[in-house]
Chains A and B, each alone.
Chain A
Amino acid sequence: VKPCWILCAFLFSLSRSDGEEQVGQGEQKSSPARPSFGKKQLPSIPKNAVPITKAASPAPSTQSANGTHASYGPFYLEYSLLAEFTLVIKQKLPGIYVQPSYRSALMWFGVIFIRHGLYQDGVFKFTVYIPDNYPDGDCPRVVFDTPVFHPLVDPVSGAGVRRAFTKWRRNHNHIWQVLMYARTVFYKINTMDPLNPEAAVLYDKDIQLFKSKVVDSVKLCNSHLFDQPKIDDPYAISFSPWNPAVHEEAKEKMFAHKRRPEDYNKGLPVSGLSWVKPGSTQPFSKEDNPLQT
């Protein structure tokens, strides 16, 4: 089984974390045309997938009137989302993993691991829906697969978080902030303007009961962990019990993996040439050359 790419994509976060969430890291369904190991990019659209761009409304970034280079429009949306995703990766959000869906770059699957606090040990799967007029639309929606008991999570739909970004401002707001916020609410509970008034009231009035409800909710969520993903998508995150035969190798690969350029092996003659002493801007300021030993 080829290790799934998302794991590599999050290698940064992983290598930082203490590895607590090995509890059955998602083993993914194999999917056609899976990108090679180490790809950080959005997965391919399967051949029969409906592409995310709105057929009707042209991409917002192609205002060009003449329309000749409007054909590049799709690239802009794709790349904007790719760039957002890259930002997420660079942020190294602790305990959060996301992966764009196989079918649409506008839908990302995610999972959040809560490591302490009231929701400790919670593992909440969620889906991020990005409006198709991104980045000019609303804030992306975060919907939890199982509505966790939380003042800011709708007990029925599981929707949450959105409130934090009343107005989505391109260049200022990024998807990683949404994810970050989604994580924060489980550590710092805020009852203002709740989506689940019951939880909010309980938190303010009867913290003990709230706590026990939370514990129940966390248990409930975790009991559904190994369920089939709600959305049938090759790249949906699915959990399975730890199976050394499957996971051990994948885990090792994840930890051992070093991202390399695609053509790394094909004659990249010399690389990393630098004799500049850190802090200096003079060439050949490094006294001794550690590059050659």
Chain B
Amino acid sequence: MSWLSRLNPRGPGTRTGRHAAPTSPCTADPETCLMVFENHWRQVSRVLKQRESSVGGYADDLTAVRNHTDQMLCLLAEERPAGGDIDSPVGPILKMVVAENILDELVQWHVRRGLDPDSQLELLKLFEMLIGQSHQPLLLHSAVLQPLLNLLGACVDPQLGSPPALESSLVLLLNQVCVCMAKETAVLELIFRCGLVQQGPTNLLIFSLLVPFIHRDGSLGQQARDALLLVMATSASNHSVARHIAENSYFCPVLATGLSALYSSLPRKIEVRGDDWHALRREDWMAVSSLVLFMNSLEFCNAVVQVAHPLVRCQLLDYLHNGFLVPVMGPALHKSSVDEMIASTAYLDLFLRSITETSLLKTFLRFILLHRHDNDTILDTLLTRISSNSRLCMVSLSLFKTLLSLNCEDLMLQLVLRYLLPCTHVMLSQRRAVRETDLYGKSADKFLSLIPECCRITPAPSSERDDEPAFWGKVLGSPTSESPVHPRPSTPSRLALFIRQQSSGGQAIPPSSGSENAPSSPRGSVSSPLSPDSPVHQLPDTSEGETGYLEYLRDARKGIELCSWACRDWSAPYDGENPSPNSAPPPPPPPTSHPSLNMVQEHFSIMDRPQQRGAVVAAARAEWSSSDRDSGEWDVTISKNCISLTPRSKKRSLLSSSIPLQSSSSASVSTEMTGAVETVSQHSHSAPHTALYNGMGQVELTDSVDEKMEVKKVKRDSDVNNSMVESGMNGSMGIGSVDYNDFHVGSTMKSSQVQVKPHLQHQTSVPTSTQECLESESQRLSPVPALTETSTVPCDSRGPESVERLIEELLERAPSEPLTGDSKCQGISIEAFHQELRELEERVRERRVLSRSSEESSREYRTAPTPSLTDEDCLPVEIEQRSSETKPESYATGVFSPARPLGPPLAQPYTGPFITVLFSKLESMMQNSLYVNILLTGVVFQLACYPQPLLRSFLLNTNMVFQPSVKSLIQVLGSVKNRIEAFAATHEDFPAMLRKARRFLVARGKLDWSDSPIGVPTLRRSDSLIKSRKPSLGDLILRHTNSPTRARHAAQLALAHVRDGGQSLHSALFRGGAAGGASGLEKQAEALRVKNAVYCAVIFSEFLKELAALAQEHSVALPFPPSQGAEE
């Protein structure tokens, strides 16, 4: 932070002109000036002498004194130091001032005759002029300094502070004094000693006068902060002053607690501008005055930490931790309303991005990693948010992206490495392989092979101008052809060639590769952009080719290089040997047992009994070897000590779902599966909550034809036992148990889940309150409150018959819906609208199924609900009963299995909550919104940049053999691939949709640079999809323009674009929509589902290339040697 350098131009030099009266006599020779000065002084002293006679003083006197004083001080200010005399280069006027103590007498006289605010102001201004403009170090003379201090003392009431009218002059004067002080360090000492004599313990008056202005807004606060900072910098080497500041001033507490106060005035809810919004950018907060205020103060803290004496710094950090982070940030992050969670998470992210000082960062990180709020570390809390509804998820992902970009060992240790350290996740025989690099590109090959067949674009017949042969092919084809060689000094050798080869098909690459992500960008992605002027994007559809791979390689290289550079001073290599796996402390178990923990549990199936575990593991292993990862199904298993994900085949789950719930102890895999299914159906039927809560696409339906047919069949044969279970699973949750994740946020999995449970309890007793709470819930959660509200009413009160009416109502309502009233939001709210529709439709459908099968299903519940309940009511009640009966810590066990856990299984490998939540989110990529996927893959990319063999091998070594219960990235990706392919198989227009989606993404990526003449630098290339994949739309629009109007204009343009893109995609999807045309609503829901899936297919393919590139680059990366102390 260049705070100090920013201060410099503020020196007196820039401020001439204000008092540089043209008539100034200073041009005259010093002799004359002195004579003039003496003359004035004579006049003044005549007045001063009269003091005894007239205590009140006459106005004439005052005017006279003022006039003369003006002149005198002007002369003094203009005087140049005497040239000849080296020992005391003091001009004659100053000499006289010192000798006769003129200033002191003047001030004394004023003070004695009673200072009215007017003359106070006058004097302050005079002194300010004098100090600001003097050519001599006046403050070195106590004849100047002392009267100044006296004046200040007289102007400011120690209790009341300075009168408002004086504030600006006062601060300006103090600022000038501090500027002088910075230039002449001796002044500080002098002030300090003067103060010591006069004011006793509350010395350093100048300093304490400034402190109250620390948090002021506007230029006043800025001046005060600048001045204080100068004091800090000047005192950095002065121990006694530093001690004084630390011990006798309120500087640090005021600064820290002021932050708390400012934080409390921040908006609790962040007005969300688009469905891709996920982080606060500068442009976002510049318009929010309270946030500006806060950020100013935070930046000031940062600057103080940077320059201040260690004593002061330590104290400040202490106060920040104990006076701001713990009492304010902690609770704020644990607020129960989603809006507040979003806001506080985004704030924290912003703060972390704004801080540059290492020790301040340490304070924040310490708080995040170690501080426990209600038993959980902040980190735990933040982790759970990733699996929540989409906005909160995005904000949290963004925060973790920021955290990862810090490359902090302590953080990575807590987040990931400590779980990998014991090496229990790999087979014993594989431990050696942890350090191996992928020499022959096997892993890269594996990743690339996972690109779904359907996503490998066969060029569209007409639109492709170049059919993108492999670059190498081009080279081979024309080995001697002169491709233009552009000297690109920083291009990594061979890659440069590829790029050149590419460009030979297009046009020359202007050598402007100096683009870089602005560090302030929320997406400070390690991978920095290339020149966006790469020729390829000028071609119409090149994005559909695989041109991006080189860029991915380059990004990967940069990411890895930066990361390993940043990690070079870590305490250990984390290579599976150092730190030793044996000495590593066992990582903490999965946090299942904290009742207070608002942890989003994944699905709980019963894995407690060892024999069960054995069976499951064996089964899983068998399945694994036979089906070779074909199954997309996983069981997330949570027992006391671990969350694990176990593969499960479709067949098995279908089978198990037909088995009614057993409470026998002949537990087998299928029992557990049943348990799983049960829970799923439960939660999927608690529809309103889940649907709302999950925001984006979590309630997705089928992922294959079979499953969809399943659902339909179920609808018909609704009298079949268990049909609900089946439909619940195959319908809502067919995607896999990972989805529970999100469900459990909002559902009453545990009593600890403060979010929803209270509402549900209400439901039992007062049915109507259900609606209310749903409404309130939806209002909180939904960006389109009105819409949800209306949707809830008919849904709850009328039941399935009124679906059509409801839809009509909705559609009627929708267009006139008062969104935010802002034109630029329309494109986005359409998305939101679809979202709502889809969720609603989901609920409706579930209800339909439920209404027919509720009786059957109800007897499956151990706690059978009152039969007389209506369809609409019975579910919530069931849930409520279940949740109330269930012990929080062993919900699944309590309900589904009579057996209590015998004890935690031994050393079950657990790769930690971060990996778990990322993987489960990845697994549900098909249902995630585009923006969630963009962020999510970005985070995984960043994680995979880390060079530590433990982490690298876990994520990128596809040849590693993990323990069966440990899910690998490649397995997760494999299941996503299968789903995408299954999806594509059921949509014959998939290729067309895919092309459209790509085109849209590319267009989106182009937005940023096409609009602004100056906007190029921060962008990634636009020829490949990655670019559009990385930064958010709002970011793209807003980043490059500071003018609000221009930004708005850009935003409108861009959003229009997006809207068009989105809508055309929508319409395309509609035409091909397989929804069966039952209702418009279903169609739309289907369309959204399809849209998410298609976008997912695009992102997924690009993500795989990215991972492959990372795997390749890791194998050729050279480590950086440690920096050996202070080397930079």
Contact = CB atoms under 8 A, between A and B. Distances in A.
- List 10 A-B pairs, minimum CB-CB distance, nearest first: A71-B470, A267-B519, A283-B410, A76-B441, A274-B409, A272-B569, A273-B408, A271-B566, A74-B472, A261-B561
Interface of B: 356, 358-359, 361-362, 365-366, 369-370, 406-411, 413-414, 417-418, 421, 437-442, 444-445, 448-449, 451, 453, 456, 469-473, 475-476, 479-480, 482-483, 485, 487-494, 496-497, 500, 516-519, 528, 546, 549, 553, 557-558, 561-562, 565-572, 579, 584-585, 1108, 1112, 1115-1118, 1120, 1123, 1125-1127
20 contacts: A41-B493, A43-B493, A44-B491, A51-B479, A55-B476, A61-B441, A68-B451, A71-B473, A80-B440, A259-B1118, A259-B1120, A262-B492, A268-B562, A273-B408, A273-B411, A274-B408, A281-B421, A281-B579, A284-B362, A291-B358
Contact of A86 (B448, B473, B1118): B1118
A33 B496 CA distance: 9
A44 B497 contact: yes
A275 B489 CA distance: 37
Contacts of B488: 33
At the interface, is chain A mostly helix, strand, loop or mixed? loop
A75 B444 contact: yes
B534 to A, nearest CB: 17
A269 B356 contact: yes
Contact of A41 (B409, B492, B568): B492
B352 to A, nearest CB: 10
A73 to B, nearest CB: 7
Contacts of B565: 260-261, 264, 268, 271
Nearest to A70: B470
Contacts of B492: 35, 39, 41, 262
Interface in A31-90: 32-33, 35-36, 39-45, 47-51, 53, 55, 61-62, 64, 66, 68-76, 78-80, 82-87, 89-90
B472 A135 contact: no
Given A35-B492, A283-B411, A274 B1118 contact: no
Contacts of B469: 71
Contacts of B1123: 272
B444 A72 contact: yes
Given A71-B546, A283-B369, A289-B362, A272 B566 contact: yes
A272 B568 contact: yes
Nearest to B517: A267
User: What is the size category of the interface that chain A forms with chain B?
Assistant: 35 or more
Given A83-B1115, A268-B562, A292-B358, A283 B519 contact: no
B494 A42 contact: yes
Which of B445, B487, B1125: most chain A Cβ within 10 A? B445
B439 A47 contact: no
B1105 to A, nearest CB: 9
Nearest to A64: B449
Contact of A47 (B449, B472, B483, B528): B483
B1116 A64 contact: no
A79 B366 contact: no
B1125 A290 contact: yes
B818 to A, nearest CB: 42
A180 B567 CA distance: 30
A73 B472 contact: yes
Contacts of A293: 1126
Contacts of B494: 41-45, 78, 82, 105
Contacts of B445: 61-62, 64, 69, 72, 76
Contacts of A35: 491-493, 496
A252 interface: no
A270 B569 contact: no
Contacts of A258: 1127
B458 to A, nearest CB: 9
A39 B437 contact: no
A47 B493 contact: no
A170 interface: yes
A85 B516 CA distance: 29
Given A69-B449, A273-B408, 6 more contacts: A40-B1118, A71-B472, A75-B441, A75-B549, A75-B553, A274-B410
A48 B439 contact: no
A277 interface: yes
Contacts of A69: 445, 448-449, 451, 456
B479 A48 contact: yes
Contacts of B579: 279, 281
Given A80-B440, A83-B437, A280-B571, A273 B358 contact: yes
A291 to B, nearest CB: 5
A290 B517 CA distance: 29
A275 B1118 contact: no
B516 A266 contact: yes
B445 to A, nearest CB: 6
A289 B1126 CA distance: 12
B1112 A51 contact: no
A76 B446 CA distance: 12
A209 interface: no
